[in-house]
Amino acid sequence: MDLILWRNAEAEVGPPDLERRLTAKGHRHAVNVAAWLDQRLPARYTLLVSPATRAQQTAMTLGIPVRAEHELAPGASAEQILELAGWPGHKGTVVLVGHQPDLGAVVGRLLAEGKGHWSIKKGGLWWLTNRVRNDEAQVIIRTVVAPDLI
């Protein structure tokens, strides 16, 4: 399984939290990351997106229909996110657009047995995959992308 954890891009400050929209910079970063992803994603993949406006706007830059997954609202647990994504048994690629610290908790859960605080830059992504070697499950970091570097 390939799991892509994409943090929503930079958004306006202020309440209500779920209605915050992307800033111009955030939109630009989302477009750049989407273009990068578009060149690398398989033809078929699953897109799971938080109901927050900023996450939906980030995901929409991929140019495919977006449907809110209420389980990905800010405050989702790592276990909840991994279950929704189907980790590790899903056959294929899942792109998940969500929030910090939730996505960082997923990275920590997969790479460090839940220890430490992992940060994902606004608009950035982590692309992880899994495999079994010598009867041992392994998580592999395929890439980490910062939106200001592409």
Short-list 117, 126, 137, CA closest to 98: 126
Task: Give the mean pLDDT of 67-91.
Answer: 96
CATH of 2-88+100-149, one of 3.40.50.2300, 3.40.50.1240, 3.40.50.300, 3.40.1360.10: 3.40.50.1240
Residue 39 near residue 143 (C-beta atoms within 8 A) = no
Question: For the chain, what are the domain ranges?
Answer: 2-88+100-149
- Residue 130's pLDDT is what? 94
Q: Indicate the pTM of the whole model.
A: 0.95
Q: For the segment 114-137, what is each residue's pLDDT rounded down to a tens digit?
A: 787 799 999 999 999 998 899 888
Percent share of the chain, pLDDT over 70:
100
The average pLDDT across 16-33 equals 97
